[in-house]
Amino acid sequence: MNDSFAPEQHINQTAEEEIPHLRDYLRIITKRKLTILTIFVIILLITIIRTYTTTPIYTASSHVLIERNLSPSALDTGIYSSYDPNFMATQLELIRSTNVALKVVNRLELDTKYRHYFFNNEKANRSSPFSSIKGFVSSIFSLEPNEQTTDAPNNAEQLNRPAAKTDAEIIAARIRDNLSIKPVKGTKTVLISYSDTTPVIAKLIVDSIVQAYIDEILEIKLSTSRYSQQWMTNKAEEERQKLADAEKNLHQYVKKNDLVTVENKLNSAYPEKLAELSSQLTKVQAELKEYETLYNLLQTSAKNYKQIETLKVFTSNETLQQLHQKISLTDQTIRDLSKKYGPKHPAMIKARTEHDLLTREKTSTIDRIVDATRNSYELAKAREVNLKQLIAKTKTDMLNVNERFMQYSIMKREVDMNQALYNSLTSSIKKATVTEQTQDVKIWVLRKADLPEAPSKPDKKRSIAMGLILGLLGGIGMAFFLEYLDNTVKNGEGIEKRFGLTVLGSVEELQGKSDHIETYLLKNPLSPLAESYRLIRSGLLLSSPDHPPRSILITSMVPQEGKTSTTSNLARILAQNNKKVLIIDCDMRRPRMHSLFGMPNSHGLSSYLSGNTDKSPICASENELVFLIPSGPVPPNPAELLHSTKMQLLVGEMLKKYDYVLLDSPPIQSVTDSLTLSSLVDGTLLVTRSGKTTFDMIESGLKKLHDVRATILGVVLNGLIKSKHDSGYYGYYDYYSSLFRQICG
């Protein structure tokens, strides 16, 4: 029925399907309660001993308010911004710094006056066995592999070797180790605590730490201010010298280039002059254009006075207009006189003479106007040339002056910049001098340290409570760890899940010292142990699909798993149904069955198989239903005898006479006898022992049986220690045991 069993494949499948249950954890705790109790008691005792032998530690605490100084004097320095997320963390590091600790040592004279409080404890600690072990281990691991001792030390090694610490530095380091600084959440306050074996020392150090921290803040401030002042003073002196040199160079340049009024007037005088000249030039050019046009007309008209007179320059001339009027009057007079007189009349002559005179005067006036126009034209041309020359010269002068003014502006800016920088430095020096004594951090002691009345460590109640918890957790953890390391069979459920074998029944471990499992069934036929074997019998009768197995090989993985007692008790249970049962003791190396039945072993199976006797090896037992073939004398070759044809014939012959034939064989892992006998029987019954047989043993044995194609009927679990929590899986065995008994017999 199990010929197709593949242990490796089934192990992987069942391992994935197995899910721990809460009952499994309770079972482990109950099973290993002695381990849990032992670990619990050990840890609790260690905790109690350490709690009551540890030197008491006293803790003194001071409550301090720390905040930034946001007054105007502090803000003007520019060192701090209005928001600094790292401010409090920085202050806590300052409190914990070595400088503060050294100030405490110097203030309290801890390295001289109170030196014995620190170094006596150190000697005591060094004398303890734990310190000696720690120092020995440290010396081993700190030893360099290439270290060599020489008479002349290397100079480089001496330079690299750190200098020995002074007593003050050692005490300061210890103060830092025992110092605790905790900011109070949601406030600007800090709780500063110090722990020591002496309460007075703890109080003194806490109070001194606060004062040393204040001194450190002031020292940092003063050091920074002094450095800043010195730097600014040196820088101001440099800038003052630069300013003097720049002013001197500017003065010399102004004097050399005659630029006394350059800053006030030069920038606007030349543009105004150039604009005025440009305006005059425009006017002159307009006049020149008019004169040129008029002059060209006069040149074209020549002596054509009638044409010339029509020009505006002549028509607008008052003298010429008066002459025209007079000539007109004279002409009128001549016309009037010509009516009365002849051309030679004196009046006519006088009138004509006056007319000629006026005409000559008009001509003379026109000539003068023409000459004046020509002169004006020439003068306009000259003025245009002069204005152009003057404008060109003005532009050249202005460019030169602008160039000089540009250089002047550069030098003036340098003077102004040096002046501003010098003024800023002198102002900063004055401010630094005024704010030198102000603090950037405000510190108030809200509560000074009180003298500790009770030790803070060890907290006996808390330590014992922690010991109880750790002991319980350690015990449970050790129990589960041992359970994890325990690879032995604990119950039938594990065998069925891991290997897919049928557990026919389990046999409890007898608790009484005087009880022996080999004889217990004879004395207690109605006991639960007897019911367990009846359950195994019922399982065997139902283990084969065609017919109940009649020849059964009973074996185990290793010795002392209870296969012999199982064989004898199973034979007795099978015989209770009025069946004849024969036991063949095939364990020729360590025979034991004859002693259980109180029979001699002078001859038996080995004698019969070796041909030393033809006498039947069968011996009767305590009743007429159970019979035994003892192993006989120990032969030199048991495996060859069991593998012989005579052994096969013996089993077949015995099956004709008896209802059941049980073969008690050696363990599988020890010899191959069981593997040889497995082919002579209907099936093999494996016997395991709880807490002894490992899963690896079962896996190895099953592989061997599988290789010889043995039929495995099932497994019997011996030595099971049940508790009240173990009824979940095996309860159905007890529940149906009576039912199986009724069915089978």
| Domain segments of the chain as ranges | 7-16+487-744, 32-53+459-484, 262-434
Structure tokens at 282: 């425009």
In single-letter form, the type of residue at position 520 comes to Y
pLDDT at 1 over 70: no
Q: Over 70: is that where the pLDDT of 64 sits?
A: yes
**Rg (the chain; Cα; Å):** 67
Indicate whether 110 pLDDT > 80.
yes
Instruction: Give the range with max mean pLDDT: 67-71, 122-126, 569-573, 615-619.
Output: 569-573
Model confidence at 733: pLDDT above 70: no
SS3 state of residue 693 = coil
Q: Is the pLDDT of residue 37 over 90?
A: yes
- Convert the pLDDT of each residue in 474-500 to its tens digit: 999 998 888 888 888 877 888 888 888
Q: What is the pLDDT of residue 46?
A: 92
Going by C-beta distance under 8 Å and a sequence separation of 6 or more, which residues neighbour residue 470? 43, 47
CA distance 241 to 515: 117
Q: Per the structure block, which two tokens stand in for 60?
A: 């003194």
> How many CB atoms are located within 10 Å of the residue 358 CB?
20
What pLDDT was estimated at residue 551?
A: 92
Better-predicted residue by pLDDT, 258 or 52 = 52
* pLDDT level of residue 661 (50, 70, 90 thresholds): very high
pLDDT of residue 687: 93
Answer with the residue of higher pLDDT: 14 or 351: 351
Q: Name the percent of the chain lying above pLDDT 90.
A: 11
Distance CA 503, CA 509 (A): 17
- Element housing 686 (H / E): strand 683-689
Q: Which residues pair with 492 in a beta bridge?
A: none
**Euclidean distance between CA atoms 104 and 91, whole angstroms:** 17
pLDDT at residue 3 tops 50: no
pLDDT at 473 over 90: yes
Examine the pLDDT at 410 and tell me if it is beyond 60.
yes
SS (H, E, C) 316-368: CCHHHHHHHHHHHHHHHHHHHHHHHCCCCCHHHHHHHHHHHHHHHHHHHHHHH
- Tally of residues, the chain: 745
- Residue 451 per-residue DSSP state: P
Q: Residue 632 to residues 63, 126, 552, 642: CA-CA distances in angstroms?
A: 94, 72, 20, 13
The three-point CA angle 593-596-602 to 5° equals 55
* More confident call, 515 vs 73: 515
Give 286 or 191, the one with higher predicted confidence.
191
Lowest-confidence region among 101-110, 441-450, 521-530, 595-604: 521-530
Mean pLDDT across the stretch 15-19?
50
Q: What is the pLDDT of residue 731?
A: 44
711 DSSP assignment: P
Whether residue 377 contacts residue 313, with contact meaning beta carbons closer than 8 Å, is answered with no
Rounded Cα distance, 297 and 289, in Å = 12
- Whether the upstream peptide bond of residue 72 has omega within 30° of 0, thus cis, is no
3-class secondary-structure state, position 640: helix
Interatomic CA distance for residues 392 and 314, integer angstroms: 37
Res. 13: pLDDT tops 60: no
Tens digit of each residue's pLDDT (9 = 90 or more) over 413-429: 777 777 787 777 777 66
pTM of the model: 0.50
- Least confident range of 115-119, 166-170, 265-269: 265-269
- What whole-number distance in Å separates Cα of residue 694 and Cα of residue 489? 6
Window from 36-45, 133-142, 348-357, 581-590 with minimum mean pLDDT: 133-142
CATH match of 7-16+487-744 with 3.40.190.290: no
- The label of the residue with tokens 């019969």 reads 608
How high does pLDDT run on average in the chain?
77
The burial class, CB within 10 Å (0-12 / 13-18 / 19+), for 598 is exposed
Side chain identity, residue 659: D
Helix (H, G, I), strand (E, B) or coil at 505: strand
Paired with 551 in beta bridges are: 661
Q: Which of 2-11, 112-121, 299-308, 610-619 has the lowest mean pLDDT?
A: 2-11
Look at residue 22 and tell me whether its pLDDT is greater than 70: yes
**What's the pLDDT tens digit per position in 611-642?**
877 666 777 666 778 899 998 888 888 888 88
Average confidence (pLDDT) over 368-396: 79
Is residue 74's pLDDT more than 50? no
- pLDDT surpassing 60 at residue 139: no
Pair 438, 225: CB distance under 8 Å: no
Cross-strand partners of 712: 684
